[in-house]
């Protein structure tokens, strides 16, 4: 836990302001400008600290004004002392508000939050109905992304019957895409009357969602000798040139057994590059999930868990209800959520994740 004392917070703010100035100087250093990785890391840290600078400077000014007011309040001049006492009350209220704001800003941001998100949706138990539900989830996420101005890059699709999906893998690119979607990983359960059900009985089906941070090449090293690469003819949509050439690529990572396919592009080279990108993201996610699972066992976290097999949410059509079981959130507007209105759900989950990081900061 963090030390809540004002002096401790002042010290932390002063350190961060000095660091922000140092980073600004480094961004003009020729040695940094010539090193792309160092430049990217320095610029990212400088940008993240920029959000603390204004609030931090105001907090330090208030703390200094408060010390001066307290000196006047304890002085011999009764008139000045009374004025100072009134000022102290106002300054303390303003500083308390800034303390709350700074405690939030000073919680370290997960460096992966600003990455693009690799989203994988797979039909689970429930037969054809599970495939239809997987298609509903895909539409929900794409509409949510469209509403935020994000871009969707499809990697691979395996179609089912009646317009359903056996599996779909896509990348969401936009500001804090992974930070917004990361808590969608898990098993999503639907309760409704399937279109194939003639007796009107409610069935329960499921689909799994995995959201991975897109990995950069520096995050994960892949030895080419560990890869088995197969090419084959695309079986999905894309036009004559896609379906009549061996442009689709399947990559098997021998050490882990992970298999990634991509057939969305006409170019075999582009499909291979996309498949490698997804493979790197899965390998990075395995590492992150292990770390999160270790922390979850220690802390009994509700949302920041690496368990991708946990049932996280129920979509009940007869009651027009969505329930997220991790945070006890229930909304009776399932229809609008499935049309992409996910802001309330995502916002509550991100807030819960923030509270967990704040509670366990410094462990």
Residue whose token pair is 């499909």: 271
Q: Could you report the per-residue pLDDT of 239-250, keeping only the tens digit for each?
A: 444 455 678 899
Instruction: Report pTM.
Output: 0.68
- 103 to 100, 106, 204, 210: CA distances (angstroms): 5, 5, 43, 31
What domains does the chain contain, in order, with CATH numbers?
6-105 (1.20.58), 117-359 (3.30.70.1660)
Structure tokens belonging to residue 52: 């603390």
- Other Cβ atoms less than 10 A from the Cβ of 159: the count is 16
Cα 144 vs. chain centroid, distance in angstroms? 14
Contact 314, 322 (CB under 8 A): yes
| pLDDT tens digits for range 294-309 | 655 444 444 554 455 6
Q: Tell me the C-alpha to C-alpha distance, in Å, between residue 102 and each of 4, 69, 260, 353, 359.
A: 11, 23, 43, 17, 15
Q: What whole-number distance in Å separates Cα of residue 18 and Cα of residue 194?
A: 61
d(CA 353, CA 117): 17
Instruction: Using alpha carbons, list the distances in angstroms from residue 331 to 33, 158, 188, 282, 297.
Output: 50, 31, 15, 32, 29
Alpha-carbon dihedral 163, 169, 172, 173, rounded to 10 degrees: -130
Residue 104's Cβ-count burial label (10 Å; 0-12, 13-18, 19+) is exposed
d(CA 166, CA 160): 5
Can you say whether the dihedral through the CA atoms of 142, 219, 158, 272 is positive or negative? positive
- pLDDT tens digits in sequence order for the chain, 363 residues long: 344 456 688 888 899 999 999 999 999 999 999 998 899 889 988 988 887 898 999 999 999 999 999 988 888 888 888 888 889 999 999 998 888 888 777 776 777 888 999 999 999 998 899 999 999 999 999 999 999 999 999 988 899 888 899 999 999 999 999 999 999 999 999 999 987 676 778 999 999 999 988 887 767 888 999 999 998 876 654 444 445 567 889 999 999 999 998 887 778 888 898 899 899 998 988 887 776 666 554 444 445 544 556 899 999 999 999 999 999 999 999 999 999 999 999 999 988 887 777 666 555
Strand residues in 193-338 grouped as ranges (E): 203-213, 227-232, 248-253, 258-262, 311-316, 321-324, 329-331
SS3 category, 306: coil
Spatial contact of 46 and 23, defined as CB atoms under 8 Å apart: yes
Q: Which residues pair with 260 in a beta bridge?
A: 251
Are 283 and 258 contacting, i.e. CB atoms less than 8 angstroms apart?
A: yes
């Amino acid at each position: 836990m963090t030390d809540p004392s004002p002096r401790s917070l002042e010290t932390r703010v002063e350190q961060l302001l000095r660091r922000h100035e140092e980073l600004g100087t480094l961004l003009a250093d020729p040695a940094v400008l010539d090193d792309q990785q160092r430049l990217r890391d320095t610029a990212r840290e400088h940008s993240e600290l920029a959000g603390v600078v204004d609030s931090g400077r105001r907090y330090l000014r208030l703390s200094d004004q408060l010390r001066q007011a307290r000196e006047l309040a304890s002085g011999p001049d009764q008139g000045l002392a009374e004025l100072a006492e009134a000022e102290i009350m106002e300054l303390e209220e303003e500083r308390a508000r800034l303390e709350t704001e700074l405690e939030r800003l000073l919680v370290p941001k997960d460096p992966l939050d600003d990455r693009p998100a690799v989203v994988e949706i797979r039909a689970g138990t429930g037969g054809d109905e599970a495939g239809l539900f997987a298609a509903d989830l895909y539409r929900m996420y794409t509409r949510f992304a469209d509403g935020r101005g994000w871009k969707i890059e499809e990697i691979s699709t395996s179609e089912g019957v009646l317009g359903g999906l056996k599996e779909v893998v896509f990348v969401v690119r936009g500001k804090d895409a992974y930070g917004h979607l990361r808590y969608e990983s898990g098993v999503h359960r639907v309760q409704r009357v399937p279109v194939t059900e003639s007796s009107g009985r409610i069935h329960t089906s499921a689909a799994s969602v995995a959201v991975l941070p897109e990995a950069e090449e520096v995050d994960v090293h892949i030895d080419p000798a560990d890869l088995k690469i197969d090419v084959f003819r695309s079986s999905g949509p894309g036009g004559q040139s896609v379906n009549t050439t061996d442009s689709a690529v399947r990559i098997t990572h021998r050490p882990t057994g992970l298999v990634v396919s991509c057939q969305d592009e006409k170019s075999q080279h582009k499909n291979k590059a996309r498949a490698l990108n997804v493979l790197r993201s899965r390998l990075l996610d395995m590492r992150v999930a292990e770390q999160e699972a270790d922390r979850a066992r220690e802390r009994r976290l509700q949302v920041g868990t690496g368990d991708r097999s946990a049932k996280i949410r129920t979509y009940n059509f007869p009651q027009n209800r969505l329930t997220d079981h991790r945070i006890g959130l229930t909304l009776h507007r399932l229809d609008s959520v499935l049309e992409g209105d996910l802001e309330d759900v995502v916002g509550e989950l991100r807030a819960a994740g923030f509270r967990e990081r704040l509670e366990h900061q410094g462990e």
